[in-house]
Amino acid sequence: MSLNLEGYHDMIGKVIHGEKISLRSLHVITVDDAYIRTLHRQYLHKNSSTDVITFHWDEEGEREGEIYICLDQAKLNAEEYGVTLEKEIARLIIHGLLHLNGYDDKDDAGKQQMRQLEDKYLQRYGRL
């Protein structure tokens, strides 16, 4: 399952600049539900699906990142929230970028902070 992510490049660059994220490289990878379940189980020890997983490595003061977007979950989210698939994918990419910058959503305060930032960047740069 794949998706042309070219239309998201400008938004990604603006969020990276807005968050002052120093990246050597970034890969945004779209996957299906089975693949993200495997990643979730293997690396986060959760036997469930999710919509986005972010990995990063810091080497020599520079960060490399990978954002895995589950298109199956993105479609379900888009339907549930009444938004386009493109808008939901934009939100998930922004969410992944925020994780790359150290934000965490393990508690309610972190979730709220990330949601506010997602909304801010979607409003500013989410026109695809």
Stronger pLDDT, 22 or 119, i.e. the higher one: 119
> Which residues pair with residue 27 across a beta bridge?
66
pLDDT, average across residues 100-120: 95
Residue 3: the pLDDT is: 65
Range list of β-strands (E), the chain: 23-31, 52-59, 62-70
Q: Which CATH class is domain 6-125?
A: alpha beta
What is the domain partition of the chain in residue ranges?
6-125
pLDDT, average across residues 93-118: 95
